[in-house]
Structure formats: structure tokens, C-alpha cells
Amino acid sequence: MKRFLKLLRKDLEASRLPVFFLAGITLILMAVLRWRIAQGAWHPQVSVLGVAVPLTFFPLWLIWRSFQTLRAEWREDTVYTLLVLPVPGWQVLLAKLAGLLVEYSVLFAATVGGTFLFFGGLMDELWEVIPGPWWLAWNALWVYVTGAFVLATLAIHVQLAFVVSKMVGRLQGLVALWVLFLSTWLTDRAALLLEPLFRWLPTIRLHEFLQLTRFDEGIILEWQPAGQIGAAFATVGLLFLTGLLFERFLEING
């Protein structure tokens, strides 16, 4: 555990500057927009920009980060340090994953927090419709959790594609893409195969869980987790596979 935390701390310290920079820029952007709107210079609708820009940019940035945190180790030759340490490969990768999720959390908090802080006053129509701020918080939490799972899954696929591409001498980009397709197809098939095993899981009535019925009494949104569970297991398996390849089969030739 101590070693895992050391790896995590290392990855967090390395990413500290860019993450806080981005969070800060977002808040500043939102503050500036709010200020201009308050002055009457810009239309309140412009506030949408303050939310839309981070919402589009951050997911893309995080996906790039999942690839960059590994690539940086090769570029700086610090991958030698990692491979020489007596740690399992999956721990190294999991630490990077955890670091990525921390980055995601900071940016999510900055975006959502900033939105309410700066634009809460503009959303009077919204406040009339929704049951209350707690409803927003509850839904925001589940958006966060879903986003975290999506990011983690994507990052694991990216990590596998990257590590495999580093095991070949040429056409690394092509190999990475090919592995990405393959691993996605694999998790899909695993989801299909394992789905019958998990049918006993209760169907989650999202329309109740997220209190969507407040808006529309007739709305029905259900989710049967059995399909995704198989994919989740397969994805975890991919993480261990990447760890194994990283630790035992990867070669570094300086």
C-alpha cells in the first residue's frame, strides 16, 4: 500500500501545475463572463459559453492525459526507474489511473462549483422548475460517478494500446489504434457473454432514483446493469494484462 501511494503521489505531484492552472483558468473565465454580464455588456446567454467550453475541452484533455502520463515516462527516460522498481506493473498503471481520476475530480468540481458560484443567479427559470439545489447536487454526484467510470474505462484501453505499441519497433501509432479497436471489441463480447450471469441484479429505476418524475410523471428510464458488469470485469482484466505486459514483456532499448 505504501508503495502504491508513493507512485500515486508522484503522479499527482507531476500533474499538479497543469490541473490547477486549468481549474483556475476556468474559474477566471466564468468570473469574467459573469462580470461582463453584470455590467450589461453581454447577454446572459453568454454564460452558456462559460459552461460549454470546459465541458467540451476537459473530457478531451483528460483522454489525452491518460495517454500523456505514460508517454512522458518514455520521453523523460523515467520509465527505467519504474521498470527497475520491485513493484507489480498493475500498481504502476493503477496509480496513474487514480491520478487521472483525481485530476478529473478537481476539474469537475471547478466546473460545477464555478457554474453555481458565478451563474447561479442567472438561472431563475431553472430554480422554478427543479425541486431544489439538493436535487441538482444528487444528480451532479451521479453524473460525476458515471463520468469517472467512463474515464477509467477509456484510460485503461488507452494504457493497453500505448504499452502494446511500445513493444513493437515501428508503426507504433497504427498498432495502438488497432489494439484500441481490438480491446473495445473484446470488452463488448465479454459483456455479451457474461450478461446472462448477472441477470439476477435488480433493474435500477433511474426515473425514481434521480427523481426525474418531478418533471414528467410519465417518464420511465430503466437500467439493467448486467450488460455493463461483464464489460467492467473485462476492463479490469485489461488493466492486469497491461500490467503484466509492462512488467515482464516490455523491453527498453535506449
**Binding interface with other proteins (CB under 8 A):** 2-3, 6, 10, 13-14, 76-81, 83-88, 169, 247-249, 251-254
Shortest separation between residue 60's beta carbon and other proteins, angstroms = 25
Residue with cell 444528487: 138
Contact indicator for 165, 70 with CB cutoff of 8 Å: no
Residue with cell 469574467: 32
Read off the C-alpha cell for 231. Answer: 464489460
Nearer of residues 230 and 243 to other proteins, judged by Cβ: 243
Contact indicator for 201, 229 with CB cutoff of 8 Å: yes
Nearer of residues 59 and 88 to other proteins, judged by Cβ: 88
Shortest separation between residue 92's beta carbon and other proteins, angstroms = 11
Q: How far apart are CA 20 and CA 185, in angstroms?
A: 36
Which of 145, 150, 162, 146 lies closest to 93, judged by CA?
162
Shortest separation between residue 27's beta carbon and other proteins, angstroms = 25
Nearer of residues 85 and 150 to other proteins, judged by Cβ: 85
Read off the C-alpha cell for 185. Answer: 471489441
Instruction: Name the packing angle between helices 89-119 and 2-39 (round to 10°).
Output: 20
Nearer of residues 40 and 254 to other proteins, judged by Cβ: 254
Contact indicator for 76, 68 with CB cutoff of 8 Å: no
Nearer of residues 91 and 187 to other proteins, judged by Cβ: 91
Shortest separation between residue 136's beta carbon and other proteins, angstroms = 38
Shortest separation between residue 87's beta carbon and other proteins, angstroms = 6
Q: How far apart are CA 39 and CA 44, in angstroms?
A: 11
